[in-house]
A and B are shown apart, each in its own frame.
Chain A
Amino acid sequence: ELKVEQNPLFLSMQEGKNYTIYCNYSTTSDRLYWYRQDPGKSLESLFVLLSNGAVKQEGRLMASLDTKARLSTLHITAAVHDLSATYFCAGQLRDDKIIFGKGTRLHILP
C-alpha cells in the first residue's frame, strides 16, 4: 500500500526567502503529482512528474523527482504572499489509485 508523507505540515516563512517541501512515498509510484489548494477551494494541478530525475518549473515553484530515493521536492524561490496556500503531493500506483499526502500549509508573511 502506498503511503505518502509530506513535511513540514505547516510552514510560515518570510517573503523573499527560499524553502523546500518534501514528499516521501513508500513504494513504487508511476507518477508524482503536486497540487495547490486555496482555502475553501478545490485543487489546482501544479506539476506531474513522470520519471526519475524529472524537474519542472513554473514561476517561483520548482518540483523534482528522485524515484530511487522515493522523494519529490517542491522548491519555492523568493516567496511572495500570493503563494500562501496548502500544497499536496500525491503518488499514483500501477492500478491507477492516487494517494495524497496530508498537505503542507504554507503561510508567507509580508
Chain B
Amino acid sequence: GAGVSQSPSNKVTEKGKDVELRCDPISGHTALYWYRQSLGQGLEFLIYFQGNSAPDKSGLPSDRFSAERTGGSVSTLTIQRTQQEDSAVYLCASRIGRTPHIYFGEGSWLTVV
C-alpha cells in the first residue's frame, strides 16, 4: 500500500518479555517519528529519525526502549522487559524531509498482561 504500515496491529505479551514493533514508512520519506498514546491520552513523543542524521532519542522513557532505522527505511521499536505501564498504542509517522505533511500509520496496540 501507499501509506505508513505498522505491524503487528495488535500484540499481547506477558510482563517481562521483549517486543518489537515495526514501521514501514511511505517510500521516499526521510523523516520518521514514533509516538506512544496511552488509553484516552495524548501523543507522547518517543524518537525521531531524519535521513542519516543521529536520531533524537530524547522522548524514550527508559533504557528499556530503543529504536533503529535500517537503510533509512524500515524502523523497529524494541521494548525490553515489558511492564504493564507500557500498554499503549504505538504510532509511527513519516514525511519527506521537513515538508509540512506528516502521515500516520494505524498503530500497534500493545497490551502487557
User: Which of A's residues lie within 8 Å of B, judged by CB?
Assistant: 31, 33, 41-43, 45, 48, 50, 88, 90, 95-103
Which stretch of B14-22, B71-79, B102-110 is in the interface? B102-110
Give 1 or 0 for each of B75-112: 1 = CB within 8 Å of chain A CB.
00000000000000001010000101111111100000
Instruction: Please indicate the chain B residues that have their CB under 8 angstroms from the CB of A45 in the complex.
Output: 101-103
State whether A42 and B106 are in contact (beta carbons under 8 Å apart), knowing that A96-B31, A96-B48, A102-B42 are contacts in the complex: yes
Most buried by B among A50, A88, A98: A98
Instruction: Please indicate the chain B residues that have their CB under 8 angstroms from the CB of A88 in the complex.
Output: 42-43
Instruction: Please indicate the chain B residues that have their CB under 8 angstroms from the CB of A33 in the complex.
Output: 102
B107–A99 touching, CB < 8 Å = no
Instruction: Please indicate the chain B residues that have their CB under 8 angstroms from the CB of A95 in the complex.
Output: 56
Instruction: Please indicate the chain A residues that have their CB under 8 angstroms from the CB of B107 in the complex.
Output: 42
B48–A42 touching, CB < 8 Å = no
CB distance from B99 to the nearest CB of A (A): 9
A98–B42 touching, CB < 8 Å = no
CB distance from B1 to the nearest CB of A (A): 13
Instruction: Please indicate the chain A residues that have their CB under 8 angstroms from the CB of B45 in the complex.
Output: 97-100
Give 1 or 0 for each of B35-54: 1 = CB within 8 Å of chain A CB.
10000011111001010000
Instruction: Please indicate the chain A residues that have their CB under 8 angstroms from the CB of B105 in the complex.
Output: 42
B56–A102 touching, CB < 8 Å = no
Most buried by A among B33, B101, B103, B104: B104
Closest to A47 in B: B100
Most buried by A among B41, B43, B104: B43
State whether A50 and B31 are in contact (beta carbons under 8 Å apart), knowing that A88-B43, A97-B48, A103-B42 are contacts in the complex: no
B43–A100 touching, CB < 8 Å = yes
CB distance from B52 to the nearest CB of A (A): 14
State whether A98 and B33 are in contact (beta carbons under 8 Å apart), knowing that A42-B91, A43-B91 are contacts in the complex: yes
Known: A42-B91, A42-B104, A43-B104. 13 other contacts (CB 8 A): A42-B106, A43-B43, A88-B42, A88-B43, A90-B43, A95-B56, A97-B48, A97-B58, A98-B102, A99-B45, A100-B42, A100-B44, A103-B42
